[in-house]
């Protein structure tokens, strides 16, 4: 059984929700219309993603249903009343029919054996039984379980073509005595469809699971036989039971299957449902023994014909197949499947074939994914600890303190709710800064608010609406200093944030620094879930990437760059929706080092509704895929510039695209295991993986000095929030594969993150 996986990695690309769209914006009314058209175009892709997941879920449910056999033939009811059952049935022969609506039993003629086999077909044992019957030129009557028929149609075809007879043994081997009429009908019809799809026939023979002799019929089971008899079915019981399922030894199986005093008998063996090597060893000995006693072997139809000669439609003589009643070489109980029954049966067999191939392949793939995810957990913990110890050593230093002023660029588009808090937080900075607000054609008075504050060092640059990348590039051109800090208009810094953020630039090899973005509006359930995700991402993922020197993203909410490095990389590009991931990879490829500074903290406003969260994460994941595809040639880059391609690119693709895409299937497979395999074992595995995630989260919270109480929401996060993130990624993959192009959509802000919230 495969195990549940981790929650999605915190965003590899994190352009803030307030960042502008690619290209130029239009007037608000036209924006609404464009957004509506974009949403309309995305709906089919959302539907396609959901349909793909639904199809795989249905395949797994079908496979689980096929494997849901109930118990074995050792289950026997005792003590139930038989007052409703006619006496002549209880005392009659093993073949029960209802000609004219009247219950009638037929006995097997003397010196005759009806050799019956239950619970097949089985790919191991049934072919061996068929070989023995063919060797001794003996026919058998096989009561088949429909789910097994649909899984092994080739064996059923061989069985019928060899001249054997088949009957219905229900679809899931369920005790019909306690089932509704609808369930009984469904069990029979599904088995008939399976027979039609496998061998092109239907049958009138039936044997109930857990049945034995007619004297065991009781008031619970009698209505089942009555109803089936009215529908034309012949119910078949036994006279002699080999009890081979007990595996008592070959000699006892032969003895127990032998009738007394030359009587005819319907004899029960099993060709499936367990380990049947003793049955295979006993069967030739039994046939030889009975033939030596002068017995002949026939099918159920043959026994009925011998007792009712007038119904025989074939003359004696010829091979075994032609000796049986019925046309076209068919047994009398067999009828050729035609029309809808035939095609529905073929569809069932085809669907089962897909499930039989898909589920094992999926299981193997998910085991690999599960191992990879657990390996990632271990690697994150080890590397995060090493990173923490390395950065907190007394002798650790990036170099001489960086004290010179820096330029802080704040791209803004319609940020009237947030811009004041953002600028006031920067004005309190303990590091000298110039603040450049690049107003990207706002229509809500953002620029006017920024100017009216009268804060020192604040400069407002206006430009026609051109998008976030253009606004950032404009800010870089306007910057007076060699180090530029980029942030969002809905984010606030702590007083020491800029000072911490720029210290790594003491190392001349460092081209960019990622800060520690934190969720400010964490008091809601959605906010708390995102808070857990951010803390784990920035304190485990980014520490790991930092040590491996393959940081995939400088978050748009807080990042610092050498102006020279940005210009060398060609500036901020609008080729993707994840301009922060794009520029980060470009800096790696240009030979610059990108690092993480955990003490530089920024507080941002996370989406407050599921709809806004879906929109944001959809854009993030799609933009990340665009950036990865754009820089795919980094895989072949040489030297230090190729490190991201050799290390970072595979890690991002594996753990932020491939693993999350398969993760919903792991959850579906866990449910499948709980329902169809072993509920307790599956639940324990899920809880164990959740425990590992809690340990990782707790360590991340410890590193960031966060309150542990938010971890109480993690189990619910695994059941709800995580699934949504996976579906978002699947949606993004479908969009990418179908050639869709996603437009940027601005999220609604409340401005509630006014000042750093602390760690409460």
What is the average pLDDT across 237-257?
A: 96
Question: Tokens in use for 386?
Answer: 């090493």
Task: Report d(CA 105, CA 93) in Å as an integer.
Answer: 5
What helix, strand, coil percent values describe the chain, rounded to 5? 50, 15, 35
**Residue 379 to residue 314: CA distance in whole angstroms:** 75
Q: Give pLDDT, residue 682.
A: 84
Q: Which residues pair with 436 in a beta bridge?
A: 409, 459
3-state secondary structure of 573: coil
Q: In the prediction, which pLDDT does 555 show?
A: 92
Strands 234-236 and 433-440: what pairing?
unpaired
Give the residue from 724, 476, 745 showing the smallest Cα distance to 623: 745
Quick: pLDDT tens for 467-516: 899 999 999 999 999 999 999 988 999 999 999 999 999 999 999 999 99
Alpha helices by DSSP H, 241-400 = 250-256, 277-292, 300-307, 339-391
Look-up of token digits 């239009």: 26
pLDDT tens digits along 563-595: 999 999 999 988 888 899 999 999 999 999 999
Q: What pLDDT score was predicted for residue 614?
A: 84
Q: Using pLDDT thresholds of 50, 70 and 90, give the confidence band for residue 741.
A: low
* Inter-axis angle of helices 277-292 and 126-136, nearest 10: 20
Classify residue 244 as exposed, middle or buried by CB count within 10 Å of its CB (0-12, 13-18, 19+).
Answer: buried
Instruction: Measure the CA–CA gap between 309 and 360, rounded to whole angstroms.
Output: 51
pLDDT at 44: 65
Judged against a pLDDT cut of 70, whether residue 78 lies above it is answered with no
Q: Element (H or E) spanning 142, and its range?
A: strand 141-144
Portion of the chain with pLDDT greater than 90, in percent: 55
More confident residue, 408 or 758: 408
Confidence of residue 359 (pLDDT cuts 50, 70, 90): confident
Residues 686, 369: Cα–Cα separation, whole Å = 15
CB 261 within 8 A of CB 239: no
Higher-pLDDT residue of 27 and 700 is 700
- The β-bridge partners of 50 are none
Which of 378, 400, 387, 381 has the alpha carbon at shortest distance from 595? Answer: 387
With tokens 């080999």, the residue in question is: 242
Q: How far apart are CA 424 and CA 446, in angstroms?
A: 14
Residue-by-residue DSSP string for 614-676: HHHHHHHHHHHHHHHHHTGGGGG--GGGGHIIIIIHHHHHIIIIIHHHHHHHHHHHHHHHHHH
pLDDT for the residue numbered 291: 96
**723 alpha-carbon distance from chain centroid:** 10
User: What is the spatial distance between Cα 129 and Cα 133, in angstroms, rounded to a whole number?
Assistant: 6
- Please say whether the beta carbons of 213 and 78 come within 8 A: no
Q: Bridge partners of 236?
A: 95
Is 7's pLDDT higher than 50? no
Please tell me the predicted confidence (pLDDT) of residue 596.
96
**Residue in 322, 319, 303 with CA at minimum distance from that of residue 311:** 303
**Closest alpha carbon to 439 in 483, 481, 405, 475:** 475
Pick the more confident residue, 581 or 660.
581
- At residue 679, what are phi and psi to the nearest 5 degrees? -60, -50
- What pairs with residue 407 in β-bridges? 434, 484
* Tens-digit pLDDT profile for residues 705-729: 999 999 998 888 887 887 788 778 7
Alpha-carbon gap, residue 20 to 412, rounded angstroms? 8
Give mean pLDDT, residues 438-444: 93
Please, which pLDDT band fits residue 642 given cuts at 50, 70 and 90?
confident
pLDDT of residue 594: 95
**Omega cis (within 30) before 121:** yes
Per-residue confidence band for 655, with pLDDT thresholds at 50, 70 and 90: confident
Give the pLDDT band of residue 311 (cuts 50, 70, 90). very low
Task: For the chain, give the number of residues.
Answer: 760
Q: What pLDDT is stored for residue 188 in this prediction?
A: 94
Report the distance separating Cα 18 and Cα 534, nearest Å: 18
- Residue pair 412/446 in contact by the 8 Å Cβ criterion: yes
Among 60-74, 199-213, 642-656, the range scoring the smallest mean pLDDT is: 60-74
Percent of the chain with pLDDT over 70: 85
Return the higher-pLDDT residue of 330 and 113: 113
Long-range (24+ apart) CB contacts under 8 A made by 359-368 are 359/59, 359/60, 359/63, 362/56, 362/60, 362/665, 362/669, 363/2, 363/669, 365/662, 366/2, 366/662, 366/665, 366/666, 366/669, 367/2
Whether 745 contacts 38, CB under 8 Å: yes
CA angle centred on 129, ends 123 and 134, rounded to 5°: 125
Of the candidates 464, 673, 482, 665, which has an alpha carbon nearest to the alpha carbon of residue 567?
482
Whether the per-residue pLDDT at 392 is higher than 90: the answer is no
Q: How far is CA 79 from CA 73, 207, 220, in A?
A: 18, 21, 11
CB atoms within 10 A of CB 720: 14
Strand partners, 438: 411, 461
Which of 75, 66, 70, 69 lies closest to 245 in space, CA to CA? 75
Which structure tokens are listed for 584?
A: 């980060």
Report the pLDDT averaged over residues 332-348. Answer: 93
For the chain, the maximum distance between any two Cα atoms, rounded to a whole number of angstroms, is 115
**pLDDT for the residue numbered 638:** 85
- Which residues make Cβ contacts (< 8 Å) with residue 395, sequence separation at least 6? none
Q: Position of tokens 């924006």? A: 31
Radius of gyration over alpha carbons of the chain, in Å? Answer: 37
Question: What's the mean pLDDT in 211-217?
Answer: 90
Residues sharing a CB contact under 8 Å with residue 165, sequence separation 6 or more, in sequence order:
139, 140, 141, 142, 203, 205, 299, 300, 301, 324, 331, 333, 334
Residue among 472, 347, 352, 456 nearest 411 (CA): 472
Q: What is the mean pLDDT of the chain?
A: 84
Per-residue model confidence (pLDDT) at position 59: 75
Give 38's pLDDT tier (boundaries 50, 70, 90).
very low
- Confidence category of residue 237, pLDDT binned at 50, 70, 90: very high
Give the model's pLDDT for residue 370. Answer: 81
Find, among 736, 746, 473, 515, the residue nearest to 624 by Cα.
736
Query: Which of 32-36, 137-141, 752-756 is predicted most confidently?
Result: 137-141
463 strand-pairing partners:
440
| pLDDT, tens digit, 9 for 90 and up, residues 281-294 | 999 999 999 999 99
pLDDT at residue 1, as a whole number: 38
Q: Range with the lowest mean pLDDT among 156-160, 311-315, 374-378?
A: 311-315
Residue 748 has a pLDDT of 57
- Residue-wise pLDDT for 508-557, tens only, equals 999 999 999 999 888 888 889 999 999 998 899 999 999 999 999 999 99
Weakest-pLDDT range from 67-76, 569-578, 613-622, 747-756:
67-76
Residues recognised as catalytic: 118, 270
CB 272 within 8 A of CB 119: yes
pLDDT at 39 over 70: no
Q: Residue 550: helix, strand or coil by DSSP?
A: coil
**pLDDT at 20 > cutoff 90:** no
Higher pLDDT, 374 or 20: 374
Q: Please tell me the distance from the alpha carbon of residue 675 to that of residue 584, in angstroms, as a whole number.
A: 46
């Amino acid at each position: 059984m495969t195990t549940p996986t981790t929650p999605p990695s915190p965003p590899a690309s994190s352009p803030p929700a307030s960042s502008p769209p690619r290209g130029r914006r239009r007037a608000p009314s036209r924006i609404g219309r464009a957004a509506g058209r974009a949403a309309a175009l995305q709906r089919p892709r959302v539907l396609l993603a959901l349909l793909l997941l639904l199809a795989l879920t249905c395949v797994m449910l079908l496979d689980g249903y096929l494997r849901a056999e109930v118990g074995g033939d050792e289950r026997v009811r005792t003590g139930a009343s038989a007052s409703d059952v006619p006496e002549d049935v209880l005392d009659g022969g093993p073949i029960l029919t209802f000609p004219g609506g009247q219950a009638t039993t037929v006995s097997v003629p003397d010196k005759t054996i009806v050799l019956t086999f239950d619970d097949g077909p089985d790919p191991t044992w049934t072919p061996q039984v068929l070989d023995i019957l063919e060797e001794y030129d003996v026919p058998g009557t096989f009561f088949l379980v429909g789910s097994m028929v649909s899984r092994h149609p080739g064996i059923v075809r061989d069985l019928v073509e060899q001249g054997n007879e088949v009957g219905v043994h229900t679809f899931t081997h369920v005790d019909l005595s306690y089932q509704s009429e609808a369930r009984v009908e469904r069990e029979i019809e599904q088995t008939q469809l399976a027979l039609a799809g496998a061998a092109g026939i239907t049958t009138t023979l039936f044997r109930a699971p857990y049945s034995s002799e007619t004297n065991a019929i009781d008031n619970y089971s009698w209505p089942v036989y009555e109803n089936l008899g009215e529908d034309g079915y012949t119910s078949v019981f036994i006279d002699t039971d080999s009890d081979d399922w007990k595996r008592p030894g070959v000699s006892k199986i032969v003895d127990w299957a032998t009738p007394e005093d030359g009587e005819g008998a319907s004899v029960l063996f099993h060709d499936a449902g367990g380990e049947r090597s003793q049955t295979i060893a006993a069967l030739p000995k039994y046939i030889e023994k009975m033939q030596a006693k002068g017995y002949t072997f026939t099918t159920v139809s043959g026994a009925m014909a011998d007792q009712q000669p007038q119904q025989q439609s074939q003359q004696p003589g010829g091979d075994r197949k032609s000796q049986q009643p019925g046309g076209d070489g068919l047994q009398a109980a067999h009828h050729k499947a035609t029309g809808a029954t035939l095609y529905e049966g073929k569809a069932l067999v085809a669907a089962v074939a897909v499930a039989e191939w898909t589920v094992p392949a999926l299981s193997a793939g998910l085991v690999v994914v599960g191992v990879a995810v657990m390996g990632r957990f271990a690697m994150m913990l080890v590397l995060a600890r090493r990173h923490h110890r390395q950065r907190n050593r007394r002798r650790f230093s990036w170099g001489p303190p960086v004290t010179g002023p820096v330029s802080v660029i704040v791209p803004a588009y319609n940020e009237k709710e947030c811009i004041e808090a953002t600028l006031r937080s920067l004005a309190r900075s303990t590091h000298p800064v110039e603040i450049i607000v690049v107003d990207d054609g706002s229509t809500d008075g953002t620029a006017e608010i920024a100017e009216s504050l009268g804060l020192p060092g604040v400069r407002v640059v206006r430009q026609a609406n051109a998008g976030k990348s253009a606004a950032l590039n404009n800010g870089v051109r306007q910057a007076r200093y060699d180090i530029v800090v980029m942030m969002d208009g809905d984010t606030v810094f702590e007083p020491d944030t800029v000072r911490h953020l720029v210290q790594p630039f003491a190392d001349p090899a460092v081209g960019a620094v990622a800060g520690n973005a934190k969720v400010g509006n964490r008091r809601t359930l959605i906010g708390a879930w995102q808070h857990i995700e951010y803390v784990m991402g920035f304190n485990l993922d980014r520490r790991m990437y930092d040590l491996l020197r393959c940081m995939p993203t400088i978050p748009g909410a807080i990042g610092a760059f050498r102006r020279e490095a940005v210009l060398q990389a060609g500036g901020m590009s609008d080729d993707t929706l994840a301009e922060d991931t794009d520029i980060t990879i470009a800096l790696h490829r240009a030979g610059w080092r990108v690092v993480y500074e955990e003490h530089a903290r920024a507080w941002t406003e996370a989406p407050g509704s599921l709809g806004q969260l879906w929109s944001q994460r959809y854009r993030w994941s799609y933009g990340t895929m665009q950036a990865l595809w754009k820089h795919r040639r980094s895989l072949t880059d040489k030297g230090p510039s190729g490190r991201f391609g050799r290390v970072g690119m595979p890690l991002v693709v594996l753990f932020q695209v491939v693993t999350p895409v398969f993760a919903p299937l792991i959850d579906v497979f866990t449910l499948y295991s709980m329902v169809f395999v072993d509920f307790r074992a599956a639940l324990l595995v899920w809880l164990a993986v959740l425990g590992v995630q809690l340990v990782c989260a707790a360590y991340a919270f410890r590193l960031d000095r966060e309150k542990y109480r938010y971890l109480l929401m993690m189990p619910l996060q695994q059941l709800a929030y995580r699934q949504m993130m996976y579906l978002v990624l699947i949606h993004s993959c479908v969009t990418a594969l179908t050639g869709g192009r996603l437009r940027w959509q601005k999220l609604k802000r409340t401005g509630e993150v006014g000042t750093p919230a602390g760690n409460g």
